[in-house]
Amino acid sequence: MKNDFQVKKIKHVAIIMDGNGRWAQNRAHRRVWGHVRGSSIVSDVVERSDDLGVEALTLYAFSTENWSRPQAEVKTLFSLLKKFLMRERSRILKNKIRFKVIGDIVNLPEATKDLIAKLENETKDFDGLKLSFAFGYGGRSEIVSGIKSLVEQGIEISEESISKAMYAPEIGDVDLLIRTGGDQRISNFLLWQVAYAELFFTNTKWPDFNTEEYEDILRSVEGRERRFGAVDETESLDSARKMARVNHQQY
Ligand code: FPP
């Protein structure tokens, strides 16, 4: 079902789903409970992205730095990924969602790696929402491995060739990066692709995030002017004239 509001400028949304641990601790629960609750929001956000015409959605589920968390927490995140894949498989296929995991997943249990490979293969030609989970992901590693592969293949280093050497080049640059949980950081997420992204930081912790807030963010960012470092000539002339008039009146 298509929503009345459709995004036009925002094609690729990336989300840092932060604040799970604090959300749980504030409720006197163990941190992993926050991840469990947080994982239940993911499907709603995927579905709403599809309804609103977002073309690519990339979710930060597990960073390279997260490997140093307690084993129990790491295992919970693995198992939530597996459960998501099992629970959402039919919906992903039905909605023609192209699913991918970006990052280093060698240490994941074999059964989970098989589920990922199967779903990636089944959905690789779909033309719906491009849904990517960043798992075992680090932006710097992605850039290093991209550049290494270009050097190995003897391909000239350029912005274009580096973009093409990223884990999922088809998702393109990020238009909007949302981070929940109150911190205002990029945290090694899609470093190459966020160059001109609009940034949106919300204090809402991920388990409290919902599709209403998500849609509000998309609406407000759609209204922002994005100049990509350039200036509209007519606009700058207009504002210069206005400025001159003000100055003239003042003196
Ligand atoms: C950051 O919160 C969040 C993560 C490290 C993991 C995000 C994972 C999920 C939302 C669930 C995974 C779901 C699927 C479907 C794979 P934090 O623990 O750093 O929170 P804190 O900043 O409050 O400590």
What's 203's domain CATH number?
A: 3.40.1180.10
With a cut of 70, say whether residue 241 has pLDDT above it: no
The DSSP bridge partners found for residue 135 are 62
Task: Kindly indicate the confidence band of residue 236, based on its pLDDT and cuts at 50, 70 and 90.
Answer: very low
Backbone angles phi, psi at 212, to 5 degrees: -65, -50
Q: How many CB atoms lie within 10 A of CB 117?
A: 12
Q: Is residue 4 part of a domain?
A: no
CA–CA dist 249, 137 (Å, integer): 57
Q: Is residue 1 part of a domain?
A: no
Ligand 1 pocket check for 61: Cβ under 6 Å: yes
The DSSP bridge partners found for residue 58 are 14, 132
pLDDT at res. 235: 52
Q: Is residue 6 part of a domain?
A: no
Ligand 1 pocket check for 37: Cβ under 6 Å: no
Q: Is residue 7 part of a domain?
A: no
State how many domains the chain has.
1
With a cut of 90, say whether residue 248 has pLDDT above it: no
| Contacts of residue 226, Cβ cutoff 8 Å, sequence gap at least 6 | 9, 196, 198
Q: Is residue 37 part of a domain?
A: yes
Residue closest by Cα to atom 3 of ligand 1 = 18
Q: Is residue 2 part of a domain?
A: no
- Coil, helix or strand for 161? helix
Query: Could you tell me the pTM of the whole model?
Result: 0.91
67-118, pLDDT tens digit by residue?
999 999 999 999 999 999 999 999 999 999 999 999 999 999 999 999 999 9
Ligand 1 pocket check for 66: Cβ under 6 Å: yes
18 annotated active-site: yes
With a cut of 70, say whether residue 251 has pLDDT above it: no
Closest approach atom of ligand 1 to CA 206 = 10
Of the CA atoms within 13 Å of residue 244, those in its CB half-sphere come to 6
From first CA to last CA, the distance across the chain in angstroms is 59
Mean pLDDT of the chain: 92
Closest approach atom of ligand 1 to CA 22 = 23
Q: Is residue 94 part of a domain?
A: yes
Residue closest by Cα to atom 7 of ligand 1 = 61
Q: In what order do the strands lie in the sheet with 130-137?
A: 98-102, 130-137, 56-63, 12-16, 176-179, 198-201
24-77, pLDDT tens digit by residue?
999 999 999 999 999 999 999 999 999 999 999 999 999 999 999 999 999 999
Pocket probe mutation, ligand 1, options 31, 87, 206, 210, max atoms within 8 Å of Cβ: 206
Ligand 1 pocket check for 76: Cβ under 6 Å: no
66 annotated active-site: yes
Q: Is residue 231 part of a domain?
A: yes
Q: What is the mean pLDDT of residues 14-24?
A: 98
Query: In angstroms, what is the span from residue 238 Cα to ligand 1's centroid?
Result: 47
Residues 139 and 191: beta-carbon distance below 8 Å: yes
Domain that holds residue 202: 12-249
CA–CA dist 77, 18 (Å, integer): 13
